[in-house]
Amino acid sequence: MAENQSQQNLQSADADLIRQVGELIVHALNLDMTADEIAPDEPLYGEGLGLDSIDILEVALVVSKNFGIQLRADNEDNQRIFKSLRSLSDYIAAHRTQ
């Protein structure tokens, strides 16, 4: 049952959470854009938003601080987690403690 709830949360980050995470990214990285300009399914890393590995580390720190989620550099799921704003928001929805 808990697994089903986790699966539902993985698929259900709402628009408010997506916007909030987008705002955290824009603020943390001092991007010259608004959160609304980040397409939820656009890649964060490389092409798309154009973040590099240092940017991703900054985002991971901000997410950890704001949502109580421990993201580790050696997590094999990082590529999936940081694939897009939506995938990061879905991960936060499923795992946040705050």
Spans of all domains in the chain? 2-95
Q: Amino acid letter at 92?
A: I
For 5-56, the pLDDT digits (tens) are 444 444 457 999 999 999 999 999 999 999 999 999 999 988 889 999 899 9
Q: How many residues in the chain?
A: 98
10-13: list long-range contacts, CB under 8 Å, 24+ apart: 10/90, 10/91, 10/93, 10/94, 11/90, 12/90, 12/93, 13/86, 13/89, 13/90, 13/92, 13/93
pTM of the model: 0.83
Separation between Cα atoms, residue 9 and residue 91, nearest integer Å: 8
- CA count, 13 A, side-chain hemisphere, 98: 8
pLDDT value, residue 89: 96
Question: Alpha-carbon distance 1 to 43, whole Å?
Answer: 32
User: Quick one: fold of 2-95?
Assistant: 1.10.1200
pLDDT band at 98 (very low <50, low <70, confident <90, very high): low
